[in-house]
Structure 1
């Protein structure tokens, strides 16, 4: 499969709005990359520019070393799956999947062989003569996926391709998608608004904000060392605090020695990111702990995800053991906040 190389890519819309600004990204052959960010961050704009649906105002897009910046979408050799599966209801499943090959003039016998294999790959063996209206939403999305990969694309682009599905179907298809892309050695770029999905399936995650790349990292790196305070807040639900750096790091009534803070850059003015994993919840009245109160409680895979009211600020934390109750007084300690230049 081909690499995707993007250099100094800028997209400006007709009304003057900047969709992307000086984006640089290299996706390695056979790599699975997820694009995430808040609404309006530029993730879908980037995907559609790679596909050729949006023109680049400046910069270059290359596939397999070939500059395709001015090449129309249908000549880029890309497979794409959208949020809405977009299978044609008047065609059989086999005809839907075979359509890209038919347009290329591939002989009927070869088309039939490749359709059979593509349907096997997505778990729809024997579904060729079914009509789309007889399929579930997940099955129709598998048809769209089979149609996207049958022509052996240079890259596979997924635009919120799983977001319309309900759990646990979505989880099952997510796992099958990862297996499929590995087995077929597909270079894949996947746009999703689901942070947990991005972290669970991608080799690397690209976080976008205001049309710019904020960080590119493996899921582990992204969770453990967010590149900016804003990334920490978006990815890990970190609480952000304005702080200053003198003899101690101080944020309002809170303060830490230098060796109690993890610095990701230094300045007189700092932004501290307090990850949920850095918040320790203790019994009320614990010596040296901040007085806090439980604000909300959610069950989370055997633990309790809670928010805490402390000094007019809300922190997230994980609690094990018996369920805490909203309004309960507790103690709280913050261990090793992350410090970023403000």
Structure 2
């Protein structure tokens, strides 16, 4: 169990890294931290690890208040983006390092190193040097070193981002399986939204040092808490709107919807944000009644359909199309159905 309550981190230059972070992570839960650059996700991970100290608030791991406890004494395993294996050591010596520091007996070290290498698929690689390993194998060594001392929490800082696909996908699957089998509580930082949605039990979305939403992947896609979360996670286009006389209007789009035709997220009155998910955008032939005139500005193939960007004046929206490949510059009709409407705080 990890408990964070009103955690606040301020850097020496006065920049607020984390602001009033309150979060409870259950034992054996796989949590993924996501957010734009500078959102605070790495700051939060490094604070849990003990590399950064909070100015105020509380942080407890396994019921223990770890304020002021040095990183190496927190019983955490950590894997970084770069493999961080020592080139002058064999695979076995790399993995054994934390056990040797803890003065574990030689026989126990050999057994535990062998078990850890077997778990990450590197059985028989004990004597190899890192320069004889692939990038994926070096990252497996780093993972084995992180789990060999039976940590109470595993922390992953962009641990897969340096790997190429499909190796990254393969290791991602192995990681989820390994943490489940080992019953590890895991906190993983990634900039990859698809990765977060694929592997997390719950996702923590941060921006400007604050938590904006904590939800399962399914909940996050179905009901983003704010227009900004909808934009970051689900590629929603966001426009300003106004609620008046039982309708929601988007003046810059020259569109409006009756209140029963939108999804209201919380109370909405006066000025609102309108978030348009790709699933809400229907592409129709130009001139179709009720449609707006749009122009396709980008086309990407995405496993069975085309992900397009369509421009409507000053705004752009994502949409998904099946069938024949659309063309950049093609004029189309656009109908937006059931946008998400958020009252401004």
In structure 1, stretches of 5+ residues that fail to align are: none
**2-side partners of 1:190 and 1:154: how far apart?**
14
> Could you tell me which of 16, 19, 26 is aligned with 2:17?
19
Equivalent residue number for residue 264 of structure 2: 263
Q: Is the deviation greater in 179-188 or in 328-337?
A: 328-337
2:232 corresponds to? 234
User: Mean Cα displacement is larger for which, 307-316 or 320-329?
Assistant: 307-316
Q: Please give the residue correspondences for 1:27-38 in structure 2 after superposition, counting only pairs within 5 Å.
A: 27-38=25-36
* Structure-2 separation of matches of 1:75 and 1:114: 20
| 1:215 positional shift | 0.4
> Take 2:233 and 2:269, find their aligned partners in 1: how far apart are those partners?
24
What is residue 190 of structure 2 aligned with on the other side? 192
Match of 1:291 in 2: 293
1:167 to 141, 165, 169: 165
Does residue 249 of the first structure (1) align with residue 251 of the second (2)? no
Instruction: Give the equivalent residue in structure 1 for 2:318.
Output: 316
- Counterpart-to-counterpart distance in 1, 2:18 and 2:311: 37
The structural deviation recorded for 1:268 is 1.1
CA distance in 2, matches of 1:199, 1:223: 9
Residue 287 of structure 1, CA deviation? 1.8
Q: CA deviation at 1:331?
A: 1.1
Q: What SS class does the counterpart of residue 59 from structure 2 fall into?
A: strand
Secondary structure of 1:117's match? Answer: helix
SS of the aligned residue for 2:154 comes to strand
Match of 2:281 in 1: 279
Q: Write the deviation string for residues 10-48 of structure 1: whole angstroms up to 9, x where unpaired.
A: 000111110000000111000000000000000000000
Task: Count residues with an aligned counterpart.
Answer: 340
Q: Give me the whole-angstrom Cα distance separating, in 2, the residues matched to 1:148 and 1:267.
A: 51
TM-score after normalising by structure 1:
0.98
Once the two structures are TM-superposed, the CA of residue 285 in structure 1 deviates from its matched residue by: 2.0
Partner-residue secondary structure (3-state), 2:155 = strand
Q: TM-score, normalised by structure 2?
A: 0.98
**Structure 2 matches for 1:93-172, cutoff 5 A?**
93-172=91-170
Per-residue deviation, residues 284-326 of structure 1 (Å, max 9, x unmatched)? 2222211211111011111000011113211110000000001
5+ residue gaps, structure 2, are none
Q: What value does the CA root-mean-square deviation take over the aligned residues?
A: 0.7
Q: 1:258 offset after TM fit, Å?
A: 0.6
